[in-house]
Structure 1
Amino acid sequence: MMQLDVRSNKILDELINNPSILSKDIEKKYNLTRRQLGYSFQKINDWLLEQNLPLIERTRQGHFIMDQTVFSQLAPEQEKAPTMDTAILTEKQRVYAILMMLLSTDDLSLVHFTSALDVSKNTVLSDLKQVQKYLQPYDLKWRYSRRYGYLLEGDELLIRKLLRHILYKILEMNHGEDRLCQLAAIDKQEIREWNRSIEHVEKKLNLKFTDEKLHAMPYIFILLLRRIKRGHKVHAFFIHYEELSDTKEYRATEEILSDCDDIPRQERLFITLHLLTTNVYWSERLTEDAIPNLKKALNEMLDLFEKKACVVLQEREQLLNKLLLHVKPAYYRIKYHLTELNDVQESVSKDFQALHHLVKKSTKPLADLIGAKIPESETIYLTMLIGGWMTRQGDSIKGKIKAIVVCPKGVSVSGLMLTELRSLFPEFVFLDAMSVREFQTYPINYDIVFSPINLETDKKVFIADSFLEREDKNRLRKQVMMELHGYIPSEIHVEDIIAIVKNHATIADENELSKDLYRYIHRDDSASVKRTEQLPEADLSDLITPEHITLRKQVASWEEAIRVCAQPLLQKRQIEQRYIEAMVAHCQEDPYIVIGPHIAIPHAAPEEGVNDVAMSLLKLDEAVHFTEGYAIHVIIVIAAVDKQKHLKALMQLMKLSASKQDRDGIIRASSATDIHKIIQKYAIDEQHR
């Protein structure tokens, strides 16, 4: 470990004891040239880095900026931190200070800023440019007028959001509470009175405010009420009175504001929302009354995560309760768009990127309950909670093989490949199925790729057909295991075991026995999970019934073919008209809907107008042309409500499209019944696999 030389030690002591000293004063006091001081300053920072302490910054004006941690670690006990008067603010801290003044005070001039910050007018003017940048994500701006001075303009709801954010930033600064009182002209006696009022409410309503933001509550109330009295009011907005009026937080708001006259209802609701969204309320028993179905949604989220991450979360009920405590305030933050806007997002470490990705892909039940997409910052916190829980139980996805599937044949086919490969390699974590274009910019770290085509990557690529027959699967598993682990897994065929069992016992349900044996043979002994894939229920013949089959001699265009094919689904309200328009739009840009000679499967995303999983078929005597080189006789519209429920039928459809005999049979068929008989063969084949 490096040691500081005598000169560098003296300079560091001087900075700790006199943080407001200038570079030129140190040079004069210790008889140093600018170069010598620069050399010592670099050595000090190298030493601080080795000590795991923040580096000291030096401004162009010759000031030194030191983090509070340096003082607390190195300064003598009686001099552990600089006073507020001597501490130099960084540019970012000055931006926070200017914003707080704009939020809390009217009739501000340039002199107010220079006096409060102890800097020149030019510095303030430069800082105001940074303030304008900081305001952009909030859709706010500052304006100067001779009559009113500097003031903020924009939606009051967004100004309140900014107020809360900046208040916390200033409280985090050295001597934050003193600085906040100075910037916003708050009397400390007023703070003490609010604290007594909050304590009274805690006792009266049997509440307990316990999180780290509790100390901010008096300042929040003072500044909000100040804005209200000055006429800066929140207008009627989309907070639902019925949703908030029954909460303990609303009763707390009413109690706290009992001595305040003329506070409109929408303002009381806003303050209630503040309490609900800042994690200030804690209870040993969190009931379902506040947010119905929240626990159910979180449970479904964890189910999805376990499947995607190949893990079993132990002591799950405890984890659920921990998630409930976090997600209750997050629910209101997300629903009412109060998640922080321009706060720097916590970055996910490289080791947690894959875990974070899987958590994001599992949040749909929660997003559906709230009715809004889960913001990145909220997902990061969920990742931290779940990742920490897994670490505690000694589990991780870090050691597991992470695979992706890259397929040039569209969403449905790549989803089919993903399902097939997940069953074939239950010990792997499959992150995503994607197009070649998406693969070229894929940000998550992975170990191997499965694809029907060669790809440019430094990772291992295993060539796998879009549809895998049994022999293909056996061959692929052998190849992958040999290349990754240096061994070929022993060959155990389910059919051979069933044949042996038949010689000695009666099998009640051969199909179910076959599935159970397959899962057992392909289980991962090293994983903490023995998961069972829930096979999609619907066969191809269940979805494409005779009523869903249309026969035509010809159509005028590809677009007409889609519309004619989709009519049976539209009439049964399984899809909406907008889904048909979405299919037409997607087909113009996606040539990969052609899955075999003369067969195409137009489809769009579930959210574009699907009400129920469904398929329909159009057979044309005269082919319709789709782009150059594709003459299509059979169009099958696919309407999927998610990425799973239609996959069994899609597997059977892929088998059918690979059979020239059955393709030609459908094209020659003269009735819907004849076509359905051909389709039924694939459900029967599936049962006897």
Structure 2
Amino acid sequence: MVSLGDRQIHLIQYLLLKDEYVTIADLASRFDVSARTIRYDLSSIKTYLKLNDIEMNTVPRHGVRIKAAQKQKIAILAKLEGARSVSASDCVPAMAAFLLVQENSTYASLAEACRISRQSVVKAFPDVERLLAGHRIVVHKERGRGLSVEGCEVAVRDAFSAVLDEDPLAVELIAVLPFRSQADREKAHAILQSVETALSLSYFESELVELLIAFCLYRARCGHMLGQGALPEHLRSIGELPDYARYAKALSPFALEPIERTYLIWLLMNGKVRYPDDGTANEGDARGIALFLMEKLEALHPIEDDERQRFLSGLSTHLGVALYRLRNRVPITCEILDEIRIGIPLIYEYTRQQLLLCEKDYGVTFDENEVAFIAMYVASAYETSVRVTSAVRVMIVCPFGMTAGTILFSRIRQMVPDCELVGPFSRKEAKSYLENGDVDLIISTADECYDGYPVLRVSPLLHKDDAELIRSQLYQISYAKMCSSFMRGYCMLVERNRGKTYLHELMDIGDMRILDAVPSWKEAIRIAAEPLIRKGKLESRYVGCMTDAVIELGTYMVLLPETAFVHAGTEDGIHEDCSALLVLRNPVVFGDRGAKLVRTIVVLGVKNREKTILLDLVDIFSKDANRRVLAQDFVTKEIIANLHN
């Protein structure tokens, strides 16, 4: 029997709907995993399909394709649909989209649409309400009428667009709902074709764009019209954009209210498009910037050929759209901006630094939203390259018998295919292996202690709680390895191009503090920020924003061993660029989720977009010798001020 995970099920469903070959690189990009993971998934899928008398063909340089008759495809799709394991939290965006489409809903109708229990819907519903509240939409619950939403019409449409753009499960759910009339479908398709023909472009996700257009037509048909006074500034001024007239001309054959036409133009301008390869400025410039970023990325770590091509192709396409937006003053909002800045701060800052170098040559200014989207591409390429060369190595120890150890080994390998597993070992074999080998984590079915190695105890059958604990621990180890690798490359690059940088050049000695201990990590952040608040460089609310970021996003700010670089957003109360430091003689447990021991807390407030203070500070604190100095009882502010890279 072959057991499939959710991603493998989605892979089969995707391939069954494709008649042509799909490359490994395209699958890796679509499912946001490495090519290595896709190959592992396809190996399991091939075995599963063979057991169901279905063949999967693999052709070098062309990719993979499932060869099956239509009756076989229908049968296997039905079988897989019954096997899908979707949690209530996975369905939150889909439930939000469902509420936006249906005039009235119930918990039962949401449960039926998402194929989960009514109890699961009720439990997850506060998350649905929070998601919609972020788009200025209120959910009403009325006895006898069920669930309904209320918000200005532009907020409803913007929310629908944002949810579907971010969540494939929501698209899958909404696409089968009968809210669109045949006339809506045909008109949406005709509008899209007219725009693509008139402007000589094509949309990457044409089915999604058609769905968004049809939703707007449906809303207008139901009497939910846009009001001129309710439109935000970026819609009121859209007529000033250079390409507005061309879009308007493409939409002129269709009977639309002027305000509805304006909204559709804005929607179409924000879609991801590809232009014909005719040497246009955006295409050439996008390729040039992508090559520049690839060169800068490879200065830190080599990138494999497959990943290089995937990176250049995906990023060039995105940059073509981004340059079009920037040059036509079409604004965009990254809904996860703070998560990106805090979750991948080193790569976000490095990407921002490199894009600053491009701005003068290409005549554009990349705002933080555009930087965030581009940073995700850079992070994906970098993390994939690091995983290939420095995969997390995990030892499996099972003292009570090899049968249980073999089951545990198999389940962990399926759960985390990117990890390098060794074992299963007995206690004696494990100690023998560690005499000459090394691992990042030990997973054992009994209480074990191995000096210098983290150990997780789990059930041989790997219960749900065990799996979540393993994933959390492996993610933290992988993230720490990536940060370490990034800083090694960055430090070498900096040292080749410039001399020493001392800490006192980046931070006032009066903003450094040394204490024996603090009662909590929250208090540590408050004390570290105190000098900057006293000087008026930060507002007191900035402390709350930093604390909230750690609570909501975890301990991503612990970029180095025992060292946290804490910050919030540029609009959270920063008056000028600043930094401060708190060193603890006794480390504090930092964070509520994935807590880590931290001795050094660096508070940052960055207002000037051209400053690189985070990278400069991490450069200094990444040195093992400097961190050893900070751990000494005799350390003083004067000694700290003279630490350098």
Structures share fold, TM-score greater than 0.5: no
TM-score by length of 1: 0.41
Larger radius of gyration: 1
TM-score (ref. length: structure 2): 0.43
